[in-house]
Amino acid sequence: MSNPIKTEYDKMSIAKDIGERERIICQFQISGFLDRNDAIEKITCLQNTDVEIAASTKLKQAESSGINLYQADNNLIIANIQFQIDILKAKLAKLELEDKAKI
């Protein structure tokens, strides 16, 4: 049996993660400024707490010649953040569909 409170918490947590990453990308697109440490921390934090994202992001980074994020250029960091956003949006959509299926 599912827990509706946990489901809502999960959805809010995912939405928060998406928003944080979208703000980083927006700031970079508007100003050209990237707080590299914050961006890398967001990427690695999610990799440490979400198994699916860890595996997917590690594969994505391996495609980029396995460059360490601290040595990567800003565009590669932004690409990693966007990749995580795409996965998070898919996870959020899945939760939403599961909720609607219960009704």
Cα dihedral sign, 56-2-14-86: positive
- pLDDT for 65 equals 67
Q: Among all chains, which residue has been given the structure tokens 């934090």?
A: 45
pTM of structure: 0.89
Domain segments of the chain as ranges: 4-102
- pLDDT for 8 equals 93
SS3 11: helix
pLDDT averaged over the chain? 90
Residues (pLDDT < 50) of the chain are none
**Calpha distance 90→27 (Å, rounded):** 23
For residues 65-91, one letter each, b for 16 or more C-beta atoms within 10 angstroms of the residue's C-beta and e for the rest, the string is eeeebeebeeebbbbbbebbbebbeeb
pLDDT digits (tens, 9 = 90+) for 36-45: 999 999 999 9
